[in-house]
Amino acid sequence: MKLTFATRPSALARWQTQWVINTLQNIHPNLECEEKVITTQGDKILDKPLPEIGGKGLFTQELESELLNGTVHCAVHSLKDLPVENPAGLTIGCIPARAEVRDALISRDGYILATLPNGASVGTSSLRRAAQILSLRPDIKTESLRGNVDTRLRKALDGQYDAIILAGAGLTRLGLDSHVTEWLSLEVMLPAPGQGALAVQCRTEDTTTLELLSVLEDEATRKAVTAERVFLQGLGGGCAVPVAAFAEVNSQQSSIISLTGLVISEDGRKAVKVTGQGTNPIHLGNELAQKAIQQGANEILKLITAR
């Protein structure tokens, strides 16, 4: 049996795909695997902020096309980049155990969020991160930061920004977390829905591949990220809007899911934060999305989509 995996060309995407392949082959020693490297629109357009070029499918569309054409069996994604709705004929075959969910601040001069000088420049590609930073430090100037993890890190270490903010999972996976100046707590910076989790996508009818991938599935992670992504979906948002969410499954009572969701304006001045618990991730995500809408989330999002 041989599986072909679609992957983006970045060091992080290749690492994530290799991790999936190596873990699968340790369990299925006779399984042959190969990579097919595919460059996406998000990899090509690096001179514009992400919200300007559209968020949905920016890093995934080309990989999904290869899947639908039957030229590959699987595609490995960072779940936070994957649109909440799968194209017809595709499914998420497995979601392995989640890695680091927090965001990390990196500063060449050793600043943390509290000690950044007045008017400091902070690089980020995310409206969600920028908005949450501005809610705490409205004096800070957030600037667009594009490129792969290593490119962004180099820009920080070259002093092009006073600090940058990156997803912690990418840094830990690439062994670059020694550069982190401050791990931002979930009280300070709520992550993107699905952050820190991987998703292995395949064709819905490919039962052989689905069976092979099932050994990597982590039920608690699946429940948590489903609640987060349903919350995002209930707000009609994609990965380019400032919506954050984090859910976790109670370690003592594995049936209980706790979810926190946030919708925040670009300048950080208006925010709707909701929390709740439930046993069904879909019901919980929808319930909190409706609660957020009742508290004014739609008005905040309309200001962003009207730009």
Q: Are 285 and 229 in contact (CB under 8 A)?
A: yes
- State how beta strands 163-167 and 103-106 pair: antiparallel
d(CA 297, CA 245): 14
110 torsion bin: left (phi>0), alpha (psi -120 to 50), beta (else): left
Contact 193, 289 (CB under 8 A): no
Other CB atoms within 10 A of residue 71 CB: 12
Using alpha carbons only, what angle is made at residue 48 by residues 195 and 134, rounded to the nearest 5 degrees? Answer: 55
The answer to whether 103 and 189 are in contact (CB under 8 A) is yes
Q: Which helix (H) or strand (E) holds 18?
A: helix 11-27
**Separation CA 131–CA 137 (nearest Å):** 10
Looking from the CA of 161 toward its CB, the CA atoms found within 13 Å total 24
- Calculate ∠ Cα 122-191-36, nearest 5°: 90
Per-residue tokens: 235: 């707000």
Annotated active-site residue in 43, 47, 81, 218: 81
Whether the CB-CB separation of 121 and 143 falls below 8 Å is answered with yes
Q: Which residues pair with 272 in a beta bridge?
A: 263
> Number of C-alpha atoms within 13 angstroms, CB side, residue 40?
27
The verdict on whether 81 is a catalytic residue reads: yes
| CA angle in degrees (0–180, nearest 5) for 16-51-283 | 70
Q: Which residues are catalytic?
A: 81
